[in-house]
Amino acid sequence: MGGAASQLPKDLLSEYQELTFLTKQEILLAHKRFTELVTREDRSSAVTRVPMDKILTLPELKSNPFRERICQVFSTCELKDGSLTFEDFLDLLSAFSDSATLEIKSHYAFRIFDFDDDGTLDESDLRKLVNCLTGDTEDTRLTHEEMKQLISNILEESDIDKDGTVNLSEFQHVISRSPDFVSSFKIVL
């Protein structure tokens, strides 16, 4: 632990604590895990970014059906390639931490489920969401009618203004009635 602390200046560690829902120990562990993913080529640039394919090797993300989308949402790379800086990585861990508020968790969940980044969950987003959850294989894929019925049910329950989409406030309203959401929306290192 002494080695990780020396690589992360105290003032920066304090700043990260103030800006995230993470403890000092969690930040130091995150720094250690992130640093282990950095290759020599990655270290050569001014801002160290770890490619998405390396981030996805972390056991905490490996089996998550939204793993690629999670990286894309938290990536600050202009290319939106899912590569993460250490600060992006901390933001991801902070949003998924036990200490994060329901508002923060639901905001990021909404962004992850908004596959086309248009600020709403429409039929296409909901179809992709369901396919991620059920597995998009021949054996697990819903039939056209089952999918149509499920999306209709989701919209009936969630689309308060009846515009055919679910916006962030509608999504947060639904989530607020789901006590299991907060406990299931987490990643622990």
DSSP 47: S
* Alpha-carbon gap, residue 47 to 42, rounded angstroms: 9
Per CATH, the number for 9-95 is 1.10.238.10
pLDDT in tens, 14-31: 999 999 999 999 999 999
Residue-by-residue DSSP string for 71-118: HHHH---TT----B-HHHHHHHHHHTSTTS-HHHHHHHHHHHH-TT-S
Q: Given this model, what pLDDT does residue 165 score?
A: 98
- 9-95 and 102-184 agree in CATH topology: yes
φ and ψ of 79, to 5 deg:
-75, -10
Is pTM beyond 0.85 here? yes
Q: What is the pLDDT of residue 16?
A: 98
Q: Sketch the domain layout of the chain as residue ranges.
A: 9-95, 102-184
Which residues make beta-bridge pairs with 84?
50
pLDDT band at 187 (very low <50, low <70, confident <90, very high): confident
| Residue 151 near residue 126, CB atoms below 8 Å | yes
Helices within 23-83 (DSSP H only): 24-37, 40-43, 52-55, 59-62, 67-74
Q: What is the mean pLDDT of residues 171-176?
A: 94
Q: Which fold does the domain 102-184 belong to in CATH?
A: Recoverin; domain 1 (1.10.238)
pLDDT tens digits, one per residue of 45-97 = 667 999 999 999 999 999 999 999 999 999 999 998 999 999 999 999 999 99
